[in-house]
Amino acid sequence: MAILYNMFKLLIIGQIARVGYFSTCQAIFLRPAGRPPGPHLWRHRPADIATIVRRALPCVCGPGERSRIQVKEKILWLSIAICENVCYCQTNDVIRYWGKLLMIKQKKSRTVSIRITKEHESMLKKLQGVSEMSQTDVLLKGLEVLGGYVGAESEKASLGEKLKELERAALEHAEEIREIRKKEDVIRELVKELKDVDRIIDKHQCEPSALIQILLEIQSEKRWLSKPTLIWVAERLGVPLSRVMHIATFYKAFSLEPHGRHLAQVCLGTACHVRGAQQLLNKVSMALGIRPGETDSEMKFTLKTVNCLGCCALGPVVMIDEDYYSDPSVDELKQIADDLE
Amino acid sequence: MMKKLATREDLEKLRKELQDRSKKIKRWVAVCSGPGCHVHGSGEVAKAFMEEVAAQGLEDSVRVRATGCHGFCEVGPVAVIFPERYCYVKLRVEDVPEIVGKTLKKGQVVEDFLFMDETTGKRILYDEEIPYYKFQQRLLLGQHLQIDPRDVGDYIAAGGYSALAKALFDLGPEGVLEEVKAANLRGRGGGGFPAGIKWETTRNAPGEPKYVIVNADEGDPGAYMDRGILEGNPHSVLEGLIIGAIAIGSTQGFVYVRQEYPIAVKNMQRAIDQARELGLLGENILGSDFSFDVKIHMGAGAFVSGESSALMTAIEGRVGEPRPKYIRTAVKGVWDKPSNLNNVETWANVPLIINNGADWYSGIGTDNSKGTKIFSLVGKVKNTGLVEVPMGVSLRKIIFDIGGGIRGGKKFKAVQTGGPSGGVIPDSLLDIPVDYDELNRVGSMMGSGGMIVMDEDTCMVDVARYYINFLSDESCGKCVPCREGLRQALRILENICAGKGKEGDIELLEELGSFMKDASLCALGQTAANPVLSTIKYFRGEYEAHILEKKCPAKVCKELISFFIDPDKCKACGLCFKACPVDAITGGKGLVHIIDQAKCIRCGSCFSVCPEKFSAVVKLSGEPVPEVTPGTKMKKKAKGEKKCKK
Ligand SMILES: Cc1cc2nc3c(=O)[nH]c(=O)nc-3n(C[C@H](O)[C@H](O)[C@H](O)COP(=O)(O)O)c2cc1C
Ligand code: SF4
Ligand code: FES
């Protein structure tokens, strides 16, 4: 029953997270043997999923069984079929496996049906809140539990093997989807970035004389100048890329590497220098755990030195984001850093 | 939304209205929100004032202004209460309700918040009687107290833009030019070139359109006067610029501000927008046939971009590097058109001259340097902040009477003026009057107004090394004398600081310096040697100590000093033991702590944590470190001495 509960939990988490768990679940159980895994089960409409399920089912449950699948929409039922101590679960408001869904006929099989009440629902919501897992994690977790279960308790080796194989395929599938998503994300990011750049360029009426101003605005918005950005700016303004690069490397304000979310600038101007700017720099470096010019691995802070912040009367000063601090101690600095997100 | 001013009369009417409206205000408080006070948290104090005034139901009779820099950054946040001019210093948010309840409501003074004169032990009521302010003549900075920089109404009520009207309708271009020339206003950004003559050159140069530009790049580290003005009174700069444009016949202006000053950029942009809305910028200003507009251009962090030809190249959207000036920028500047560049402070002086006349202006200052100059008095001086004095005041007066002398009872050593192009001035020359020519004569210069005071703990070789390092970083590298000369000079100086100096280094530096002066393209390279030459001139002995005795007399140069715990003074408190980042200190309860010199990285942590009453950690230079046997017991406290609590 504990397994049942786990499955239930995982399924529901997947459900409520409105994740691909359901559809990926199809992939676990229903991907036709011999067909390469792919995103073809993704993003299908519920009705299509039903068709796919129907088409795919024979390779799991043998011919003649397909008529047992009923598709109904918007029914909140969860059906879990247990066969040979292996749970076959389907759920959702879309598809139900009715009655004896005995794909592999065994004696000890039984079917459990649970109606989801309001209480269930709120409990499940809570569960999801606790788990805070991403879609893929929910999927993988589910597989882990399943796999472990199969390995430990299945009497029928072939079934275990089959499941293992399916699990492997599902993992590959998930990995592939992740890759595709990653690529998609990169492209989407790039498009978004260039759109932002476009907005800034348009604001300056595409004037080549506004080149420095445009780069400054991009820098302050994006915290760095990426290669595509520089190429794009050169392209749009009709100036040679070499000139854009000349500017981007000449001025201190520009960075060709991503900055952290927060910027700490230690003044090394004369007034601060004679009042111990170097010691302050050491302190900041110690508090943030990075050296001047570096960004920490979590992309939280970048530490830079500057020539004057215009607060010379209170030197030595460090500016963290928009705020100035006059000679703070290491502990104060740590506090400031911790308070920032 | 304000109504556009179509005529001069409209402006006067608006001014009258604004002044009448403010007559209802019984008291107002100017909370300084300049750079210094801002760091001390004046933002919260100003907010607290506004909330408290509202909470006590005083909105109708009291006004709170968050103003620009008052000058006395050291004791910030500062608030001055008008009309009495009570000056409260070092305010905290908790203090606000009492001030509102007593001073703003009833006019009573709260003694505790007044400035206390340390020498007499007396509290001082009014801001102008505080010694720091008493010896100043705050023609420009004084305006800040009356004005909320975000509100053009304040500026107009205080007489703003009357100079513009006068220039437009009474004086005309020639009249303005004559006035500025007669006032002998000299550039505040560096060289001190007479503004009137530069304006005339641009005016007479062939080519249209002509440009006028505000140089607010303020790259000189240690100087923040321009920031103070731009943040505190942007309209005064704008008004000066428009008047200059009238005289020169320009239709387009630029303000070149460094991006490190975001508040200045914001306030200036707001000022431009407000002026445009009021018809003080744009087509047919105040109904005349004069049209003019202004654009802000942000600098991206390069000292050399403050140089005139470099700045103009940057405005064109190219890299801000200097170019040869066979033809001056006043004749061929931005896009090869005549362009007149002046410093922020120069422009801010213009409305004063037009309003009060050249005679009045030239009554202030010395023969060849007229008016006042703002200095940023910083470094090891007791009272840091912005100081505005008439030209010709002695350095001693600025540093000792206004600045209150050196911090922590140390001895004065030198003052550095003119930024990286200037030099140091020693004790013996403190009585020279501060004007362009005198400062040049002693090997420094006025520069933009940075005044960095150094005490006996400052090493002059280190200062020279610092400046050369700065300059070699900032040199654009276009011409060899500057690029390579600075690199070599830096190497020599670094060697000297590291105790690897050789005899003959000083002479080599001097030779390099004179070569750079003659052969560099722009003023950065030409003046780059000044910090070295002037330190050699006045502090040759210090150089020699580094080179010959391998000793840093000020005990600054890391490689030449050692830290040592005096066994007679060590109280085994363990603070240094905890502070040392490399575990170079050994010791224990009741045992004298000892620094392992081989492990010590000379970070100075132990020196700074050792309690002042013990002062057991000392710096040694040029002498061997005494041996102390590990396990030495701590000296017992003398009879009668109280046990020191942890
Ligand atoms: C390397 C270098 C940096 C400079 N930086 C500044 C600056 O930051 N601000 C400024 O007003 N002038 C600066 N100047 C001086 C300008 O070239 C120019 O002389 C000045 O802006 C003219 O204005 P003025 O006549 O009102 O002084 C710099 C000059 C050099 C050579
Ligand atoms: S003197 Fe220095 S900063 Fe000036 S142009 Fe030459 S290399 Fe560049
Ligand atoms: S020198 Fe550090 S803020 Fe100006």
* DSSP string of A37-101, one letter each residue: P-GGGTT--HHHHHHHHHHHTHHHH-TT-GGGEEE-SS--EEEEEEETTEEEEEEETTEEE-S--
Fold of the domain spanning B561-646? Alpha-Beta Plaits (3.30.70)
For A15-48, give the secondary structure using H, E and C. Answer: HHCCCCHHHHHHHHHHCCCCCCCCHHHCCCCHHH
Q: Which CATH class is domain B15-136?
A: alpha beta
| pLDDT given at position B471 | 94
Yes or no: is domain B156-362 CATH 3.40.50.11540?
Answer: yes
Tell me: pLDDT of A123 over 90.
no
Q: Is the dihedral of CA A221, A227, A228, A231 positive or negative?
A: positive
Q: Report the C-alpha gap between B318 and A207 in whole angstroms.
A: 12
| pLDDT given at position A87 | 33
Q: Report the C-alpha gap between B569 and B644 in whole angstroms.
A: 13
Cβ(B530)–Cβ(B447) below 8 Å: no
- Indicate yes or no: CB of B300 within 8 angstroms of CB of A307: no
Question: Which residue among B220, B378, B419 sits closest to A315, beta carbon to beta carbon?
Answer: B378
- Indicate yes or no: CB of A243 within 8 angstroms of CB of B379: no
- Indicate yes or no: CB of A313 within 8 angstroms of CB of B303: no
| pLDDT given at position A194 | 85
Close Cβ partners of A104 (under 8 Å, ≥ 6 residues apart): A61, A83, A84, A159
| pLDDT given at position B173 | 95
What would the two tokens of residue B612 be? Answer: 């002042």
Q: Report the first-to-last Cα separation within chain B, whole angstroms.
A: 63
- What are residue B126's DSSP bridge partners? B86
Interface membership of A329 toward B (CB under 8 Å): no
How many C-beta neighbours within 10 Å does residue A162 have? 17
When the pLDDT of each residue in chain A is averaged and rounded to a whole number, the result is 64
268-297 in A: which are within 8 Å (CB) of B? Answer: 268-275, 279, 282, 286
Assigned CATH for B372-455: 3.10.20.600
From residue B207, alpha-carbon distances to B204, B309, B342 in Å are 9, 17, 20
Nearest CA to B340 out of B367, B315, B360 is that of B315
How many C-beta neighbours within 10 Å does residue B278 have? 22
| Structural domains of chain A, ranges and CATH numbers in brackets | 2-172 (no CATH), 197-250 (no CATH), 262-339 (3.40.30.10)
- Indicate yes or no: CB of A243 within 8 angstroms of CB of B319: yes
Q: Name which residue leads in pLDDT, A79 or B22.
A: B22
Question: Which residue among A209, A216, A308 sits closest to B259, beta carbon to beta carbon?
Answer: A216
Q: Which residues line ligand 1 (CB under 6 A)?
A: B 187-191, 193, 195, 215, 217-220, 303-304, 306-308, 341-343, 346, 448, 522-524
Look at ligand 1, atom 25, and give the residue with the nearest C-alpha. Answer: B187
- Indicate yes or no: CB of A307 within 8 angstroms of CB of B38: no
Tell me: pLDDT of A99 over 50.
no
Interface membership of A336 toward B (CB under 8 Å): no
Task: Enumerate the domain spans of chain B.
Answer: 15-136, 156-362, 372-455, 460-548, 561-646
pLDDT band for A28, please (50, 70, 90 cuts): very low
Q: Which residues of B touch A270 (CB under 8 A)?
A: 221-222, 379, 416, 419, 450, 452, 466-467, 470
| pLDDT given at position B572 | 86
Q: Which residues of chain B have pLDDT under 70?
A: 1, 636-646
pLDDT band for A31, please (50, 70, 90 cuts): very low
Burial class of A2 by CB neighbour count within 10 A (0 to 12, 13 to 18, 19+): exposed
Cβ(B218)–Cβ(B224) below 8 Å: yes
Q: Which residues of A touch B419 (CB under 8 A)?
A: 270
By C-alpha distance, the chain B residue nearest A286 is: B581
Most confident of A74-78, A174-178, B117-121: B117-121
Look at ligand 1, atom 17, and give the residue with the nearest C-alpha. Answer: B307
| pLDDT given at position A64 | 36
Residue A249 Cα, gap to closest chain B Cα (Å): 10
Which strands sit side by side in the sheet containing B293-299, from one edge to the other? B293-299, B252-258, B211-216, B339-343
**Matching fold, domains B15-136 and B460-548:** no
| pLDDT given at position A60 | 32
- What are residue A172's DSSP bridge partners? none
How many C-beta neighbours within 10 Å does residue B192 have? 21
- Indicate yes or no: CB of B35 within 8 angstroms of CB of A279: no
Q: Which residues of B touch A250 (CB under 8 A)?
A: 302, 319-321, 476
Q: Report the C-alpha gap between A77 and A115 in whole angstroms.
A: 6
Tell me: pLDDT of A172 over 90.
no
Q: Report the C-alpha gap between B27 and B105 in whole angstroms.
A: 8
pLDDT, tens digit (0-9, with 9 covering 90-100), for A35-45 = 333 333 333 34
Fold of the domain spanning B460-548? de novo design (two linked rop proteins) (1.20.1440)
